[in-house]
Structure 1
């Protein structure tokens, strides 16, 4: 132990003194030595990464950071994680990604603050001050430089103190920006930061408070739990614990927005009671800022749920992993796409998280929802499906949340509503995109707080219901059009499972056909009926707009037309399916005949390689890329050309993985004049 620590200390001192080559050599000697402890190998990789960054060799630094990340156990060694975050931030800064650098450093500050490692905390504050000063964020740079000076002065670290004083003196007087990393385009970075922090509940609380404060340039922010009638502080940012507790009590006693000075958002529940986040601001907030706060609260709520799942005892008979065959009756997992779906379902076993299942109509989203239910601790309780398209605007509130007798005309008796009817079990909301916008705020409150307010009731009623939602709609576009709440979208889509259409998994068609034929034969009393090869050829060529449901109905219909013990031939199929060309057959009229189509352009040829889902995504990506180029990166003009709203375009850019959305003012740097 002593020998390894001496070697690591020698290597680290060499790098800090500017002898990067010696530091690299010593770090590699440690890594190459037999029997090196894993924790020391991790530290050696971090030292090597720091040396490569100092030498400007960014590619080699990124490689060492990637190796270090693979060795990291954030729960077991949070101190090493904090160092890794600081080095990752430096890599981002040198690569021209200041927003990512800012959030990595901010998380590093939270980690070391939680651990009480004051010297490392001072180093992270100092790195933040440098970054913010380089971006012209004078007030924030000054604050972090002051924090660094206080730490180094208290520790007697004279060299570090001089460096902090030099950074403070170099902060520009004329600021060009108020904050960094708080713009709407940095939402994905904030989400990633909160997800990473979800390994430790204390860290997540601090990070959630910090994210709320940064999102709106707030004065201070807190995360707290309402335990009985008292506030219990979980985390704070921009204030000390005593001031944070005062802010939490104020938010608890007078919830909501107070003269534009305080905003409170729900963050789910823990064992002691409901959890909230509150941020104190100096000015009223606009709708965009309020939406960002709701998004942060939603992600933090899911993170706290994940923390709770990790803290459960390892052995729980009810949530023991069950074989997939029992969870997926009727599913044929012979394609890579469906194997991924099955793996996701298996990974969710034993959890109680909200899940959004997406996919076209008829793909089997309901079977996925049932499998999720059967793999949970609620498997012995009710599974209640409900199609949101049946909910009229006028009766939606009553149908969802219930009502008291006499609360409105026609309410002749009490009604529990579908949510309370599923108490203790799982509620499957099919076509959730069609949920009337009027009830979406109450539905979001139910997801956040686990309570419903029936029509005519004066007090909320606690319920214990797990929600699995499904949709075939483009929720991103509905959010942009104002038809679906953005905070509800984020709350539902943190964990998402996509069920591919049948045309993207054609290798499953023969297996599904055999399964459906056997089931229909048993039900209709027609044994020994076969499918001809010509029929299977048509099945393989057809594009199946109705997906698996259409295939099942087609086989059942054809079976009724076939004789017992006979064969289902093309003449037993619907005309639409037999019109599809057989494999290898030419189109009517031949290549040069009247039915021949003009050859698509070369660009389209490149796009349509692969299955239809991939082709649609490639086409969408290509159209957005071309529109951005033609608009010189202007987001508003690009959205207008594509027929989207600005917000809808941002959501698509994030989903498709675009790293930037145009010029500097559109890239989420969050700089304000």
Structure 2
């Protein structure tokens, strides 16, 4: 049960607010002065404080200052009379979550308190991730079922020499996963070396990985160690390994099998003890079938696979990620933006996030730069996030309010089946595979919609 502390020197307000918030399911504590409230906060877990501004001795703004010193994450909502608006503005600048004018509307109070409690619980989750999970996995944020599956595999494989293949779309945080595995292994004090195979020209990638001897080619004026040598006793992270040429794949396979290699222009075998973690946004099995990736190397890399879910499959993590990045951006930009308002958060949930976590961080940085206050609004978001997506508009076009839900769903299903058949050149077995159903099920549906005689 969440706890709300109500502070007011007028007993009638304490009674009314106690009754109102207790009916909402909160545990309500009351205090008639600022010092009494501070004692409660020091000794009792509190999720939100609801305080009057005008009180004898320590007023609400002064109480806010003291609370910020004790617990900067604790949401404080201030109640003001009309004459105290200037103080309320000052309090908002100092970090108050909201201010409500007396005489107050019950629904407004309930809405503000609910927002405060939700924010407190969210920040507590962030602290948990930064301490408990952060101690293991660094900056990886997530409590969704999809991320729990990732953490489960990471925990099992982290402190082993096993090669790991991380699969995920661009921007999902594959390198963070690799760093988390390294940090939680017995190799944590040895180097973590990363190379993006897609970012290095093919002609240079071999010398980057294996190094070269002096005089190996024009411009090789001195011996250079490659990534494998630098990563000795540690971890080498090969990002976008699917971009590697077939010729270089043979040499990588030898290192994985023998733990030895030769520098470019050299003849001496160099022994290393390196754990390899690879990542790709491609389906390497399909690349093998297409002849673009060696099957033997694929099996060497794919001992344990970790699939990192795209953001659209873990949208319940969005509030945690938003809070994490806002804290990070506060240090980077020197601007304190504490939250995203509900309308803007709806845009975050609705957005498809093709760029995943990286796109989310960029959107938030833009919003923090443009934000006029301490709360991100819809106006601070890119135009493509404010407007319904083509998918949303397409769904609206399909809805027939006159027919009702069942008939509308049938209409959508029929259209999808026709599209699948068209894509499969009317080959039913192929269309069934595209749709993820059996051929007999597809034929039943086709008869249902008059597509078979």
Same fold (TM over 0.5): yes
CA contact (8 A) 1:396 1:436 kept: no
What CA deviation, in whole Å up to 9, does each residue of 1:143-190 have, x standing for no partner?
xxxxxxxxxxxxxxxxxxxxxxxxxxxxxxxxxxxxxxxxxxxxxxxx
Partner of 1:512: 321
Question: Among 408, 412, 426, which residue is 1:600 paired with?
Answer: 412
Superposition deviation, residue 548 in structure 1: 0.9
Are 1:557 and 2:366 counterparts? yes
Question: Among 289, 292, 295, which residue is 1:486 paired with?
Answer: 295
* Alpha-carbon distance in structure 1 between the residues aligned to 2:194 and 2:287: 23
Residues 531/623 of structure 1: CA separation in 2 closer, same or farther (3 Å cut): closer
Partner of 1:580: 388
Partner of 2:137: 328
Per the alignment, in what secondary structure is the counterpart of residue 252 of structure 2?
helix
Superposition deviation, residue 598 in structure 1: 10
> Which shifted more, 370-379 or 621-630?
621-630
Superposition deviation, residue 590 in structure 1: 9.1
CA contact (8 A) 1:355 1:497 kept: yes
Residues 439/581 of structure 1: CA separation in 2 closer, same or farther (3 Å cut): closer
> Which shifted more, 498-507 or 451-460?
451-460
Partner of 2:375: 567
Question: Among 185, 191, 197, which residue is 1:388 paired with?
Answer: 197
Per the normalisation by structure 2, the TM-score is 0.59
Q: Which structure 2 residues correspond to residues 409-424 of structure 1 after superposition, within 5 A?
A: 409-424=218-233
Residues 589/449 of structure 1: CA separation in 2 closer, same or farther (3 Å cut): closer
Question: Among 253, 264, 267, which residue is 1:444 paired with?
Answer: 253
Superposition deviation, residue 378 in structure 1: 0.5
Q: Which structure 2 residues correspond to residues 419-434 of structure 1 after superposition, within 5 A?
A: 419-434=228-243
What CA deviation, in whole Å up to 9, does each residue of 1:391-410 have, x standing for no partner?
32222221211111111222
Residues 560/409 of structure 1: CA separation in 2 closer, same or farther (3 Å cut): same
CA contact (8 A) 2:142 2:320 kept: no
Question: Among 322, 333, 339, which residue is 2:148 paired with?
Answer: 339
What CA deviation, in whole Å up to 9, does each residue of 1:265-316 have, x standing for no partner?
xxxxxxxxxxxxxxxxxxxxxxxxxxxxxxxxxxxxxxxxxxxxxxxxxxxx
CA contact (8 A) 1:334 1:508 kept: yes
* Alpha-carbon distance in structure 1 between the residues aligned to 2:394 and 2:223: 65
Are 1:475 and 2:284 counterparts? yes
**Aligned residue-pair number:** 296
Per the alignment, in what secondary structure is the counterpart of residue 179 of structure 2?
helix
* Alpha-carbon distance in structure 2 between the residues aligned to 1:490 and 1:431: 16
Per the alignment, in what secondary structure is the counterpart of residue 195 of structure 2?
strand
Per the alignment, in what secondary structure is the counterpart of residue 170 of structure 2?
coil
Per the alignment, in what secondary structure is the counterpart of residue 212 of structure 2?
coil
Mark the runs of 5 or more structure 1 residues left unpaired by the alignment.
1-321, 609-617, 631-673
What CA deviation, in whole Å up to 9, does each residue of 1:471-500 have, x standing for no partner?
001111111122111100010112101011
Partner of 2:269: 460
* Alpha-carbon distance in structure 2 between the residues aligned to 1:417 and 1:498: 29
Residues 343/415 of structure 1: CA separation in 2 closer, same or farther (3 Å cut): same
Partner of 1:650: none
Question: Among 157, 160, 179, which residue is 1:351 paired with?
Answer: 160
Superposition deviation, residue 331 in structure 1: 2.3
* Alpha-carbon distance in structure 2 between the residues aligned to 1:587 and 1:445: 52
Q: CA RMSD in A?
A: 3.5
Q: Which structure 2 residues correspond to residues 56-75 of structure 1 after superposition, within 5 A?
A: none
Are 1:531 and 2:340 counterparts? yes
CA contact (8 A) 1:538 1:581 kept: no
Q: Which structure 2 residues correspond to residues 15-164 of structure 1 after superposition, within 5 A?
A: none
Superposition deviation, residue 580 in structure 1: 2.7
Are 1:406 and 2:215 counterparts? yes
* Alpha-carbon distance in structure 1 between the residues aligned to 2:258 and 2:397: 64
Per the normalisation by structure 1, the TM-score is 0.41
CA contact (8 A) 2:246 2:294 kept: yes
Partner of 1:308: none
What CA deviation, in whole Å up to 9, does each residue of 1:173-213 have, x standing for no partner?
xxxxxxxxxxxxxxxxxxxxxxxxxxxxxxxxxxxxxxxxx
Residues 514/324 of structure 1: CA separation in 2 closer, same or farther (3 Å cut): closer
What CA deviation, in whole Å up to 9, does each residue of 1:421-453 have, x standing for no partner?
111111111101011222111100000100011
Residues 493/518 of structure 1: CA separation in 2 closer, same or farther (3 Å cut): same
CA contact (8 A) 1:358 1:472 kept: yes
Q: Which structure 2 residues correspond to residues 195-210 of structure 1 after superposition, within 5 A?
A: none
